[in-house]
């Protein structure tokens, strides 16, 4: 077969050998057949195109161990053959019959049977989380896109996900906003979105007033106290302002197909005193320069939990939210998606939680908390992304532009000439929004990425457009065959005799472990890479070498097309992208 060094590789012999050498004593030779060895690592994927490393006499002593591991492998229908190579790798070749059967079973029972199982029941994904009355900027867009994908991947893997929008709805800016609202609208019934117009502009105007009028400033400061004291007139004004922001946020979520449940900062406010008391009782809270603080390992400045004026802050809220999520919501994994700029904040919050005994010191064990950081969105000029003359990018405008640009491209295609308006519209949205999402997700999230419409809407290269059209082409192969694919599934059989068929089949059965990896490392780019490779293998290895329609292998090859389309659709779904069926 075309598999040189196996499909999978086990490097445990070297790991074991290193351990044994480290210990010297107690080693009684390689394990005998049937003797249980505890393996220091799990079976690893063989990196593509890897030649065995040049022989190293020291390491080659691991070969007898590798032989022993190989001989101890229980017989399995999954494995076609094994061999020992290089300094002690066990190379494993999968059985092509097993691959074929797995594919066929998936086609019949559905792709959800391929969902990985993760060792936890419930997670919180804290994402998007814009601030009321301030701008919802491209950073929040990244958080929304990345967080939604992570939530989708975990949900697919049988984890119950609490999708939390930790909206910034509590803070001193509300005093100013409320006073300004009272001035502009003495009659609260006149307050609505149309009257206020742009809430960001409203924020700016009130800030101007705040900075220039000391009498207003004083009233604003008192308003915060009255709001936090629960005075009804102030509560209501606060609610009105939040409601207007919410409508604006929802427009973005709706377009992107993102579900979120809002539990803003204000939600945790009533719990703060008792959580701080608990931390105080454990001796964690100290006095420093008039503030109350928690010191954590490895960071010089402490985490301030009560400001010197007695007020709470971002950290007091996050500590309390973490406590709530662990104890009230019983989540085992709490995931925070924000820009890397907030890394230190979360590092300190998590360390404080470890000091309190809420989280374990070992981050590989549950319950755990993880910060999923991401880089900046840059413009063509290499600076922070902005549109023409406005300071910030309005997300709705950005999505409008993505859609209208992709519509222009869709209308240029011959096939779309006689589509009804509705279909053009739906396709433009799928392609336009899909392009924005994929361009973000395909990069390692930690790096900055440059926002470029022309690039992301290119139908060649590693873009959503290319992938969506690749999927549509596969669907059209199946349509053109004139066969009822459900019948083919029932009566047909998959055979992987050609190298191209086998390569495609192998990549398809790896879907589950790729999703698992993407979940474990919280890296959506892993899934994008898999999807792009799938499309590449389909085209270059399979489709260009294996005739489908009219060949003796038509039935089997149609099933391979169907399996590829099915896996691609699941990838799209997990990435929050709507598939397209026609081109
Ligand atoms: N509102 C914050 C911001 O815009 C993000 C909140 C992230 N979540 C959290 N639990 N701190 O920067």
pLDDT attached to residue 33: 47
> What is the rounded CA–CA span in Å between residue 124 and residue 149?
13
3-state secondary structure 28-64: CCCCCCCCCCCCCCCCEECCCCCCCCCCCHHHHCCHH
416 and 497 in a single domain? The answer is yes
Q: Is the pLDDT of residue 50 over 50?
A: no
Q: 337 C-alpha vs ligand 1 centroid, how far in Å?
A: 8
Q: Does any domain span residue 105?
A: no
Strand order, beta sheet including 291-294: 285-288, 291-294, 303-306
Find the helix or strand (DSSP H, E) in which 506 lies.
helix 499-509
Average pLDDT, the chain: 90
**Same domain membership, residue 268 and residue 219:** no
Same domain flag for 301 and 351: yes
Cα 138 to Cα 123: distance, rounded to the nearest angstrom: 25
- Asked whether 315 and 268 are in contact (CB, 8 A), the reply is no
**Is the pLDDT reported for residue 388 higher than 80?**
no
547-560 burial: b if 16+ Cβ within 10 Å, else e:
ebeeeebbbbbbbb
For residues 386 and 379, the answer to whether their CB atoms sit within 8 Å is yes
DSSP 379-445: -TTSSB---SSSSS--HHHHHHHHHHHHHHHHHHSGGGTT--HHHHHHHHHHHHHHHHHHHHHTS-T
CB-neighbour burial class of residue 25 (10 A; exposed 0-12, middle 13-18, buried 19+): exposed
How many folded domains does the chain comprise? Answer: 4
CA distances from 443 to 5, 329, 385, 433 (A): 29, 32, 17, 17
Q: Tokens 């979105």 sit at which residue? A: 193
Give phi and psi for 109, each to the nearest 5: -90, -10
Share of the chain above pLDDT 70, in %: 92
Which whole number is the average pLDDT over 354-378?
96
Å from CA of 276 to ligand 1 middle? 20
The residue nearest atom 11 of ligand 1, judged by CA position, is 318
- Give the nearest ligand 1 atom to 134 CA: 4
Nearest-CA residue for ligand 1 atom 5 is 129
Q: Within this chain, do residues 235 and 204 fall inside the same structural domain, yes or no?
A: yes
pLDDT for res 516: 97
Report helix, strand or coil for 369: strand
Residue 44 has pLDDT above 70, yes or no: no
HEC string of 171-224 equals CCHHHHHHHHHHHHCCCHHHCCHHHHCCHHHHHHHHHHHHHHCHHHHHHHHHHH
SS3 138: helix
Q: Which structure tokens are listed for 207? A: 């800030």
pLDDT (mean) for 2-10? 74
Phi, psi of 376 (to 5 degrees): -80, 160
- Does residue 346's CB lie within 6 angstroms of at least one atom of ligand 1? no
Cβ–ligand 1 distance for 171 under 6 Å, the answer: no
Tokens 């104890």 map to which residue? Answer: 327
CA–CA separation, 292 and 310 (whole Å) = 9
Probe target for ligand 1 pocket from 129, 272, 349, with the most ligand atoms within 8 Å of CB: 129
User: Ligand 1 pocket, 320 CB below 6 A?
Assistant: no
Predicted confidence at residue 46, as pLDDT, reads 55
pLDDT at residue 250 in the model: 94
Is the confidence at residue 56, as pLDDT, over 70?
no
Q: How confident is the model at residue 467 (pLDDT cuts 50, 70, 90)?
A: very high
Confirm whether 551 is domain-assigned. Answer: yes
pLDDT value, residue 279: 98
Instruction: Work out the widest C-alpha separation in the chain, in whole angstroms.
Output: 87
Task: Give pLDDT, residue 339.
Answer: 96
* Nearest residue to 371 via CA among 157, 116, 146: 146
Q: Is the pLDDT of residue 61 over 70?
A: yes
Predicted-complex ipTM score: 0.99
Please check the confidence at residue 414 and state whether its pLDDT lies above 50.
yes
Same domain? 13 vs 73 = yes
Residue 475 lies in a domain: yes
Atom index in ligand 1 nearest the CA of residue 140 equals: 4
Q: Is residue 383 part of a domain?
A: no
Q: Is 438 in the pocket of ligand 1 (CB under 6 A)?
A: no
pLDDT at 49 over 80: no
What is the Å distance from ligand 1's center to 127 Cα?
8
Distance 306 CA to ligand 1 centre (A): 18
Q: Which domain range does residue 509 map to?
A: 396-574
C-alpha distance from residue 162 to each of 243, 287, 333, 572, 573 (Å): 22, 35, 10, 21, 19
478 and 546 assigned to the same domain:
yes
* Cα distances (Å, whole numbers) of residue 362 to 73, 295, 368: 31, 19, 9
Give the mean pLDDT of 28-50.
50
Pick from 102-106, 185-189, 215-219, 268-272: least confident = 185-189
- Which pTM does this prediction carry? 0.92
Q: Is the CB of 245 under 6 A from ligand 1?
A: no
Q: Within this chain, do residues 207 and 348 fall inside the same structural domain, yes or no?
A: no
Asked whether 505 and 582 are in contact (CB, 8 A), the reply is no
Within-domain flag for 251: no
> Residue 2 pLDDT more than 50?
no
Cα distance between residue 529 and residue 132, in whole Å: 36
- 37 confidence band (pLDDT: 50, 70, 90): very low
| Contact predicate 52/90, CB 8 Å | no
Judgement on whether residues 225 and 286 belong to the same structural domain of the protein: no
- Which CATH number characterizes residue 136's domain? 3.40.50.620
Residue 526 has pLDDT above 70, yes or no: yes
Q: What percent of the chain has pLDDT over 90?
A: 74
Tokens of 235: 């509560």
Q: Is 135 in the pocket of ligand 1 (CB under 6 A)?
A: no
CATH for 446: 1.10.730.10
Tell me the CA–centroid distance for residue 216 and ligand 1, in Å: 29
Find out whether the beta carbon of 126 lies less than 6 Å from any atom of ligand 1.
yes
- Whether residues 217 and 336 share a domain: the answer is no
Q: Buried (b) or exposed (e) across 182-197, using 16+ Cβ within 10 A? A: beebeeeeebeeeebe
The arithmetic mean of pLDDT across residues 507-511, rounded, is: 97
- Examine the domain organization and report whether 521 and 437 are in the same domain: yes
The finding on whether 511 has its CB within 6 A of some atom of ligand 1 is no
CB atoms within 10 A of CB 123: 28
Q: Are 424 and 349 found together in one domain?
A: no
* pLDDT band, very low/low/confident/very high, at 500 (cuts 50, 70, 90): very high
Beta carbon of 336 within 6 Å of any ligand 1 atom: yes
Contact 391, 350 (CB under 8 A): no
Instruction: List pLDDT tens digits, range 70-88.
Output: 888 888 999 999 998 888 8
Mean pLDDT (whole number) for 405-433: 93
Q: Does residue 129 lie in a domain region?
A: yes
What is the model's pLDDT at position 315? Answer: 97
Q: What does DSSP assign to residue 74? A: P
Please report which confidence band the pLDDT of residue 62 belongs to, taking 50, 70 and 90 as the band edges. Answer: confident
pLDDT at position 118 over 50: yes
- pLDDT computed for residue 396 by the predictor: 87
**Could you tell me if residue 453 is left (phi over 0), alpha (psi between -120 and 50 degrees) or otherwise beta?**
alpha
* Mutate-to-test residue for ligand 1 from 132, 167, 168, 265, highest number of ligand atoms within 8 A of CB: 168
Grouping H, G, I as helix, E, B as strand and the rest as coil, residue 582 is coil
Q: Tell me how far apart the terminal alpha carbons of the chain are, to the nearest angstrom.
A: 36
Question: Is 275 part of any domain?
Answer: yes
The Cα–Cα gap between 69 and 64 comes to 9
Per DSSP bridges, beta strands 8-10 and 449-450 are unpaired
The two tokens of residue 58 are 């020291």
Lowest mean pLDDT among 349-358, 380-389, 456-465, 509-518: 380-389
> Which atom of ligand 1 is nearest to 346's Cα?
11
Q: Distance (Å, rounded) from C-alpha 199 to C-alpha 245?
A: 7
Is the same domain home to 554 and 410?
yes
Q: What is the mean pLDDT of residues 149-170?
A: 97
Query: Is the confidence at residue 470, as pLDDT, over 50?
Result: yes
Question: Does residue 395 surpass a pLDDT of 80?
Answer: yes
Q: How far is the CA of 350 from the centre of ligand 1 (A)?
A: 15
Confidence label for 1 from pLDDT (cuts 50, 70 and 90): very low
pLDDT value at position 45? 55
For residues 431 and 494, give the distance between their C-alpha atoms in angstroms, rounded to a whole number: 32
Question: Residue 252: inside a domain, yes or no?
Answer: no
């Amino acid at each position: 077969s075309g598999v040189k060094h196996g499909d999978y590789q086990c490097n445990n012999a070297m790991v074991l050998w290193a351990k044994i050498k480290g210990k010297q004593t107690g080693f009684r030779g390689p394990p005998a057949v049937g003797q249980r060895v505890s393996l220091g690592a799990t079976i690893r994927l063989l990196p593509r195109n890897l030649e065995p490393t040049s022989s190293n006499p020291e390491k080659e002593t691991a070969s007898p161990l590798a032989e022993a591991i190989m001989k101890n492998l229980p017989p399995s229908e999954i494995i076609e053959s094994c061999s020992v190579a290089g300094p002690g790798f066990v190379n494993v070749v999968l059985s092509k019959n097993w691959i074929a059967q797995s594919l066929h079973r998936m086609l019949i029972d559905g792709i959800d049977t391929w969902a990985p199982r993760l060792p936890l029941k419930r997670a919180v994904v804290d994402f998007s989380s814009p601030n009321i009355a301030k701008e919802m900027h491209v950073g929040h867009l990244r958080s929304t896109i990345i967080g939604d994908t992570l939530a989708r991947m975990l949900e697919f893997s049988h984890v119950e996900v609490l999708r939390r929008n930790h909206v910034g709805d509590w803070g001193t800016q509300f005093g100013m906003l409320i006073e300004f609202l009272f001035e502009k609208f003495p009659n609260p019934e006149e307050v609505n979105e149309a009257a206020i117009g742009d809430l960001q502009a409203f924020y700016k105007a009130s800030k101007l007033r705040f900075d220039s009028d000391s009498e207003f400033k004083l009233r604003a400061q008192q308003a915060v106290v009255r709001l936090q004291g629960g005075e009804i007139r102030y509560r209501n004004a606060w609610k009105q302002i939040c409601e207007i922001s919410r409508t604006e946020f929802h427009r973005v979520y709706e377009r992107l197909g993102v579900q979120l449940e809002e539990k803003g900062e204000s939600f945790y406010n009533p719990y703060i005193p008792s959580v701080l008391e608990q931390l105080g009782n454990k001796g964690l809270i100290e006095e420093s320069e008039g503030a109350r603080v928690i010191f954590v390992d490895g960071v010089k400045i402490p985490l301030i939990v009560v400001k010197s004026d007695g007020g709470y802050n971002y950290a007091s809220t996050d500590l309390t939210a973490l406590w709530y999520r662990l104890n009230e919501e019983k989540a085992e994994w709490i995931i925070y998606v924000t820009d890397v700029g907030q890394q230190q904040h979360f590092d300190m919050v998590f360390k404080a939680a470890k000091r309190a005994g809420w989280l374990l010191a070992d981050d590989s064990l549950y319950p755990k908390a993880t910060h999923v950081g991401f880089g900046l969105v840059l413009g063509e000029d290499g600076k922070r992304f902005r549109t023409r003359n406005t300071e910030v990018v309005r997300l709705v405008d950005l999505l409008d532009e993505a859609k209208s640009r992709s519509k222009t491209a869709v209308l240029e295609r011959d096939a779309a000439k006689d589509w009804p308006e509705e279909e053009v519209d739906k396709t433009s949205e799928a392609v336009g929004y899909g392009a924005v999402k994929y361009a973000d997700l395909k990069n390692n999230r930690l790096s900055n990425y440059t926002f470029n419409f022309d690039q992301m809407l290119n139908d060649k290269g590693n873009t959503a457009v290319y992938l969506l059209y690749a999927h549509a082409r596969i669907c059209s192969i199946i349509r053109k065959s004139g066969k009822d694919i459900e019948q083919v599934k029932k009566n047909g059989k998959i055979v992987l005799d050609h190298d191209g068929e086998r390569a495609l089949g192998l990549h398809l059965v790896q879907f589950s472990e790729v999703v698992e990896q993407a979940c474990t490392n919280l890296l959506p780019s892993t899934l994008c890479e898999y999807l792009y490779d799938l499309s590449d293998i389909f085209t270059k290895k399979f489709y260009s070498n294996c005739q489908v329609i009219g060949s003796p292998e038509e039935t089997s090859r149609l099933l391979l097309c169907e399996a590829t389309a099915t896996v691609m659709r699941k990838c799209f779904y997990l990435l929050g992208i709507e598939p397209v069926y026609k081109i």
